[in-house]
Chains A and B, each alone.
Chain A
Amino acid sequence: MEDNEYEKNDYDITKLMKSDEDLPKGSFVVGFKPVTEKGYKITEWTGAWVATALIYQILSGIILFFYYSQVDPYRATQYIIADVPFGSIILTSHLYMAYAMIGLVYFHMMRQWFVGSYRGKWRWIQWMLGVVLFIIVILTAILGYMLANTTIAMAAMHIGMLFMQRSIIGRILPGSFINWLESILVGNYTTTAIFSHVLALHVAVLSTLMLVIFAIHFMLFEKSGLANDDKVKKGKMIPWFPTNILYAAFSGIILVGIIIILSAVFPQNLTLGYGSLAYGTFPVPDWYITPLYKLMDVAGYGLSTGGVPLIIGIVIFLFILPFIDRYHKKGALERPWITAFGIYLILGIVIMTIWGYSQPGLSQTRLLTEYLWWSLTLVVFIPLYAMRFAKRDSESDGR
């Protein structure tokens, strides 16, 4: 080949599936790494499900986007359910996959928490981006839930705005900032403006942000590799293509299948539209909001002194967890305080969710609140330390 000629086309695309070797110096490699047989465990693939859920949400969301209208959101939603071909199953599965996604994000997060796989290499960035993704996922879900313009959705909208105004966000930051933040959410506050803005945030702003941060989060994973690196080194490496991608795809398809079956069996019922009146209606928000909702009731010190700072505190704690965890030894029982906080968080979320669902919006007395948190603390710490001592004992007996 002469220098002044074009390169020849290569029609053998199977070469693309061969692994890249011998890259020139100066290349930045974001690889898809091979793993050993031991890597093919469900617990190592919690992220793949979240990624599948994200892809499914994008695809089903695009279909819904064709039929949604921000001018009359409630009727547009009714129209999707009643008149669009497969509309009910698409909308319901979009909802249920969002539920699954939030549940799987929790599962993914708590798995890394107990294993301690935010330790080592650049995994601390991965963890921090994960916390950001967690917040974006919840926010996107809440905005999506507002899009139907049901009574409960608008209650969430009003409460969200008041949170911004009355909590420390609005009180500490300059007034123009909150003004700007609000106009991003609601525009000039007419129905069309509100839903144009919420729609843009839901389908474009937050979802794009989620996708971009997810890409970085994923590339960082490929860069740092599996947290249990020693196992990988011992076994036989299985090439990324096709085993790895197929494993992810198949486990993902199982998830999609489950969600579609559930949405066919339990189709979503649209609740009362905003502005309609029905005597004795109760506000029951979606399950992932109830812990927040109930926390406001049981924080016991009011919204701006109790609820909002408490939630901000929890988020900051999650965010800096890799720097709080200074234990040297591996394993959940070797990191008792971190494990205890993890269990505390799980129990707290479960209790708040169930409690919030059965008794929404019931203010609790401060005594009951204190009783709840302290008994939860005992429930978490006593068995944990008991198990830790038992482990120590068995180890010393063996010696």
Chain B
Amino acid sequence: MDKDDSSIPEPKKRAFLKGASLSIAALLAGGASFGRYTLPSDRGIPVMSNYPLAILEDPEGNPITVGDIEQYAVSSDATQANILVFDYPLQNEPTLLIAIKGVKITTPKDAIIPTTGFSPIPPSKDAPMDGIIYDPYNDISIIALSGICQHLGCVPPFLDYHPGNSIPFEAELVGYKKDGKGIFEWPKFGLVYCKCHGSQYNPVWGGSNLYNNGAASSPANHSLPQIMLATNNSPISNKEAFLNSNIFAYGINSKNAVIRTHLQYPGGETYGPEVKKENLTGGTPIRTSSRFPSPKIYTYGDNASNIKSGSPADFDVDSSNNSIILYKTVVVSNSGPWKGNFNRIS
């Protein structure tokens, strides 16, 4: 072959400009539509108008009762607690269901637990906390707390409830002892402990983050959001009827933070009254139930008369054409008849 320089044609200026401008124009035209294809159209759009009213069911589809859950109640000397989890408000958003015997969970007098210093038991009102179920006959409190850690979003079983006589290995490493002094004392009714980075929440304080009140500082920024529970029979009229009541989840306690996975966007960190209005995006709604919503539901209101009741429409929940939609959610556990998986693939 000829090895002369002249055999290699230099690209012509005009040809180069033509090629470059055409390809860049094509790239821009294509790029403009790129976002349309990579961003799902349902992204950022609420999947429900409001928090759902959901009936709690067992894995076989039967509604569970207050009495069923009380079988799982742990007292202060328990060495282990069954993990009970249901998805709420969306699928794949675990909520811990905790039943504790021998304590009435009450609202702290100030909604905020002090963030410095040590205060073993916060000053409290006498009334049971808003949105828990309190059984006055057996002295059992049932509370539902978001199972998504407020620190970095770890879920059960990494985040789970360890009762009074069950100190997780990591909590022992930071100095927690059953008979420890001051901040090193493992609380009488235990803690909800996240084993990912050691966040500590006290279920008896309504899921309050311990901040610097524990043996090691709790890295989470907020307390666990509390999911509100209601029954379809009043707790104070008839013991039998109350223990056979169905249980409903109907919203979120607006005193706490947003559920961790709902912090979709930077700056979306809201807590306080805005929590109720926070839009439910980024997921799939839990399933709807074929049952009719109970005509009246009862819950502990945070007031002197204690009991708040009304038709489900009175509780600000998801509805369509002015009628309440009843959803259902399955309670699963690590053992026993409710053994199951909260990430139910549908």
- A-to-B contact residues, CB < 8 Å: 24-26, 71-72, 151, 154-155, 158-159, 161-162, 165-166, 170-171, 175, 178-180, 183-184, 187-191, 193, 272-283, 296-297, 302-303, 359-363
Contacts and interface: CB of A to CB of B under 8 A. Distances in A.
A42 B333 CA distance: 54
A297 B217 CA distance: 12
Interface string B40-67: 1011100000000000000000000000
Contacts of B148: 158
Contacts of A279: 80-83, 157, 160, 334-335
B158 A180 contact: no
21 contacts: A151-B155, A155-B154, A155-B155, A158-B153, A158-B261, A159-B196, A171-B266, A178-B265, A179-B265, A193-B40, A274-B343, A275-B344, A278-B334, A280-B157, A282-B170, A296-B197, A302-B219, A359-B170, A360-B196, A361-B198, A362-B216
Contacts, number: 149
B169 A282 contact: yes
Given A166-B266, A279-B80, A25 B8 contact: yes
- Residues of B contacting A: mostly: loop
B157 A281 contact: yes
B304 interface: no
B39 to A, nearest CB: 5
Given A25-B5, A277-B85, A297-B197, A191 B343 contact: yes
B158 A151 contact: yes
Given A277-B333, A359-B173, A162 B153 contact: yes
A282 B38 contact: no
A89 to B, nearest CB: 28
A-B pairs, top 8 by smallest CB distance, nearest first, are A275-B343, A277-B334, A158-B153, A275-B341, A281-B157, A26-B8, A188-B40, A361-B197
A281 B81 CA distance: 13
Nearest to A26: B8
A275 B333 CA distance: 10
Nearest to A276: B341
A283 B92 contact: no
Given A165-B263, A277-B332, A297-B197, A180 B92 contact: no
A273 B170 contact: no
Contacts of B158: 151, 155, 281-283
